[in-house]
A and B are shown apart, each in its own frame.
Chain A
């Protein structure tokens, strides 16, 4: 067995931050799609020329897994008569290890790293984690909002992000119109995203084998993906203290939707153990047969979101619910509750609670049994599996007067998955194949005026 373990290939990247850069892409798109709301609402205090919001965030999973640290800045300028310019910039660094999709086995396993230039190993009975990546991403956006005619608000924005092997560019437009003396607002938004994925070593052929170190025969070049999002929303003032929002959103992605670094273990159809293989002479490589995953090249999602905000003598309760369904067979439910509780002058505490459940994608598999025909699509990425997740958090905030405020929040996020018994084959049931995820989120924000 090759003694080589982890090689910190400089610049080698992993789908984790592909997903997070997709997240950034969508976050940038969503943030800009928010249009008016991407900018904190106009307040009737003395408004300085620029209002600047800064945030430092740390996200850290347990067991040596992913850690992300980011710094974000948003600057807003009020041009009078409800016209706003908003500028965003954020930088984040990702390190740590992420499950590569292979199953834990009774013996140690070796894998070729994403770049194809090195290899890494996993001990027996451990979920294989790929930690050969660290990357820095920069994202920016610009957004303009203005009214036209008395009851209409228009917004337009651009966003972009870049990292070693992923580039995103997007544009968004939004329009809203007030009715019933501004008690009702109808909004609509459209965004378009064009992303370029340049996996280290080249995008692997879907469902092809993970090859030995130095062998890039099954790798192609860079890939691309387009995403179109549409949103329709209604905001309704219910009473002096209550406001309700309902949104319908539709998202259409097409292009390269795979995670280029995620694999599946090919296993014996009876024992469920991985099929051993020997690397070619003179090199190291995978200790078993692993296939790169394959996802459809289109994905259509729909979501219905509802949010209620209620003022209760100085305290504010927010409740929201989102139902999402897509053509990959994933259904999810998200419930979120926040309670902002001010105490003393200018200080508040805000506990939050979030529950999330999702069903697995149709093509989610734990492993591929040898001898059966290869499915067209297959992925063992835990993010496409059945799981529940809970977040509990607490935020403390302080207003310092002259438009300055700061806040600190700490949250705990836990995912608990369960492998449906139908997917576990033979010895696989003796190991915990879905250990879930535990993470801490810590954030500090500071707002000031210039």
Chain B
């Protein structure tokens, strides 16, 4: 089972725009050696109109240095998520979780929410909400994590 999941995730890792099937859980260890941002978003989340383009920028800027962004969509109606993506495309991996199992597992406290994991797969940061004013600080944390510096 884990092997199948691993294979699936690896497949997804190769094609950043591919739409993964509903995932029961995310295997961060599949991205060992990379810094991973897991971002929870939805079509009805107004700040996500800003957070998704910013994550696109981060993914593009730091992909070479080993950044992987995974967007977890929690829409219960898939067409709404697709309509949102048509207007605001995401240039990173999208995982669909209409059942809400992943946000439950991660303990999401608000929308949008993101979790940063370092290259060893440890959780090093959480972000609740998305403010334009906080982008630089967020990016600074990303760079620190990419550099392997401890907080």
Contact = CB atoms under 8 A, between A and B. Distances in A.
A81 B132 contact: yes
B125 to A, nearest CB: 16
B44 A150 contact: no
A182 interface: yes
B43 A150 contact: no
Contacts of B132: 80-81
Contact of A43 (B46, B50, B110): B46
A81 B47 CA distance: 7
8 contacts: A44-B45, A44-B46, A44-B84, A46-B49, A47-B46, A80-B132, A81-B131, A181-B110
B36 interface: no
Nearest to B48: A44
B32 interface: no
Nearest to A81: B131
B1 interface: no
Nearest to A182: B110
Contacts of B128: 150
Given A44-B44, A181-B110, 14 more contacts: A42-B46, A43-B46, A44-B46, A44-B49, A44-B84, A45-B87, A46-B88, A80-B50, A80-B132, A81-B132, A150-B128, A150-B129, A181-B109, A182-B110
A46 B87 CA distance: 8
Interface in B32-64: 43-50
Nearest to B88: A46
A348 to B, nearest CB: 18
A45 B110 CA distance: 20
B4 interface: no
A11 B109 CA distance: 60
Nearest to A151: B110
A81 B133 CA distance: 8
Interface string A38-77: 0000111111000000000000000000000000000000
Interface string A182-193: 100000000000
Nearest to A80: B132
- Range of interface residues on B (Cβ < 8 Å): 10 to 19
Nearest to A78: B46
Mostly, the A contact residues are loop
Given A81-B131, A81-B132, A181-B109, A44 B50 contact: no
B43 A44 contact: yes
Nearest to B87: A46
Would you list the 10 A-B pairs with minimal beta carbon distance, nearest first? A42-B46, A44-B46, A81-B131, A80-B132, A44-B44, A81-B132, A46-B87, A44-B45, A81-B133, A44-B43
Mostly, the B contact residues are loop
Contacts of B43: 44
A238 B17 CA distance: 37
Contacts of B48: 44
Interface in A78-94: 80-82
Nearest to B128: A150
Interface string B71-106: 000000000000010011000000000000000000
Contacts of B44: 44
Contacts of A44: 43-46, 48-49, 84
Contacts of A182: 110
Contacts of B46: 42-44, 47
Contacts of A81: 131-133
Contacts of B45: 44
Contacts of B88: 46
Interface string B108-139: 01100000000000000000110111000000
Contacts of A150: 128-129
A46 B84 CA distance: 9
A150 B43 CA distance: 21
Nearest to B41: A44
A45 B128 CA distance: 21
A45 B46 CA distance: 7
Interface string A155-185: 0000000000000000000000000011000
Nearest to A47: B49
Contacts of B110: 181-182
A4 to B, nearest CB: 63
Contacts of B133: 81
A46 B129 CA distance: 18
A81 B43 CA distance: 17
A182 B109 CA distance: 9
A46 B46 CA distance: 9
A28 B53 CA distance: 38
A260 B106 CA distance: 66
Nearest to A240: B76
A239 to B, nearest CB: 14
A372 to B, nearest CB: 65
A193 B88 CA distance: 45
